[in-house]
């Protein structure tokens, strides 16, 4: 049996990128009077750049309307990122970012079975607090032996720092855990930290190449469509199935 489940956040717990962060970025651009907007397709390309602030800086390199000076550009990116995270929290509070299928059930199964849990993300701490506070209540953090965000792990995935920090906090070896991720960068980070990983494909990474993942499939809420097949029975992906894939 595995001793801990390590959860990625964006794309894994909820479809936060298209329905949350992207909308929040565009609202921040509007609020700040910035003349550009990001399309759904373009944001998919920008996701190759890890980190919201870094994404803003990357995008501004090819924007004529962006400030020319490096210092002004960084200041604008910081302000837009802060505004984006405010809008993101408001979107979460409006109830428009539900947990993905099977997530609530697996969270509850871990609690019931005494399998420890960690949050392993490189998104901003406030975004984690907003999403988990909304869905699990204000004592959400009590369910997790480790909560690692950009505050604790500034080196973004695919760097394994976030996973290493979580393993140290849980005082557990990587091979005793299973990570749940949706994107190639997260898969690379978990594998580099020695944590077996399964992939629940999200909107933006539905066809991504994820070599090294123990299993990949459409959702924790379904036993159909997984490679290798989900052979442990039941109508959703549970701990027994995850342990079988990670053994
Ligand atoms: C997700 C990310 C983040 C979010 C935006 O990280 O790459 O950058 O897209 O959040 P993970 P910030 O897969 O580790 O959850 O704006 O706070 O960076």
Token look-up 């944001």 returns 43
Active site residue 10: yes
Location of each CATH 1.10.150.240 domain in the chain: 17-93
pTM, full prediction? 0.96
Q: Which residues line ligand 1 (CB under 6 A)?
A: 8-10, 17, 21, 50-52, 81, 121-124, 127, 150, 157, 183, 186
Residues 141, 131: Cα–Cα separation, whole Å: 12
Residue 58 burial (CB < 10 Å; 0-12/13-18/19+)?
A: middle
Tokens for 66, please give them: 């962006």
Considering 10, 59, 159, 182, which one is annotated as catalytic? 10
- Beginning with the edge strand found earlier in the chain, give each strand of the sheet holding 146-148 in spatial order: 146-148, 116-120, 4-7, 177-181, 197-200, 215-217
* Residue 138: C-alpha distances to residues 22, 93, 119 (Å): 26, 13, 16
Atom of ligand 1 nearest to the CA of 17: 9
| CATH H-level superfamily of 17-93 | Putative phosphatase; domain 2 (1.10.150.240)
Q: Where in the chain is the domain with CATH 3.40.50.1000?
A: 4-15+98-246
> Please, what are the averages of pLDDT over each run of 10 residues along the chain (247 residues)?
96 97 98 97 96 97 94 98 98 98 98 98 97 97 97 96 98 98 98 98 96 98 98 96 96
What is the distance in A from the centroid of ligand 1 to the CA of 232? Answer: 33
Query: What pLDDT is recorded for position 237?
Result: 98
Query: What per-residue confidence (pLDDT) applies to 1?
Result: 84
Alpha carbon nearest to ligand 1 atom 14, residue: 121
What's the fold here for domain 4-15+98-246?
Answer: Rossmann fold (3.40.50)
- The verdict on whether 159 is a catalytic residue reads no
């Amino acid at each position: 049996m595995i001793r801990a489940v390590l959860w990625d956040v964006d794309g894994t717990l909820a479809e936060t990128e298209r329905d949350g962060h992207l909308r929040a970025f565009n609202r921040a651009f509007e609020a700040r009077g910035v003349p550009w907007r990001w399309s759904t397709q373009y944001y998919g390309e920008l996701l190759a750049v890890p980190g919201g602030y870094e994404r803003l800086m990357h995008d501004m390199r090819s924007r004529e309307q962006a400030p020319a000076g490096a210092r002004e550009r960084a200041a604008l990116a910081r302000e837009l990122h802060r505004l984006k995270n405010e809008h993101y929290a408001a979107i979460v509070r409006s109830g428009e970012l539900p947990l993905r299928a099977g997530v609530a059930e697996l969270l509850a199964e871990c609690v019931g079975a005494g399998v420890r849990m960690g949050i392993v993300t490189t998104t901003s701490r406030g975004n984690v607090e907003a999403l988990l506070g909304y869905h699990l209540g204000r004592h959400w953090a009590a369910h997790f032996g480790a909560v690692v965000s950009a505050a604790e792990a500034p080196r973004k995935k695919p760097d394994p720092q976030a996973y290493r920090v979580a393993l140290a906090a849980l005082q557990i070896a990587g091979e005793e855990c299973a990570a749940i991720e949706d994107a190639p960068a997260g898969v690379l980070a978990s594998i580099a930290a020695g944590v077996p990983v399964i992939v629940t494909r999200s909107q933006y990474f539905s066809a991504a190449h994820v070599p090294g993942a123990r299993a990949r499939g459409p959702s924790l809420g379904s036993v159909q469509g997984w490679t290798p097949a989900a052979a442990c029975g039941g109508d959703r992906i549970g701990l027994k199935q995850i342990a079988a894939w990670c053994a």
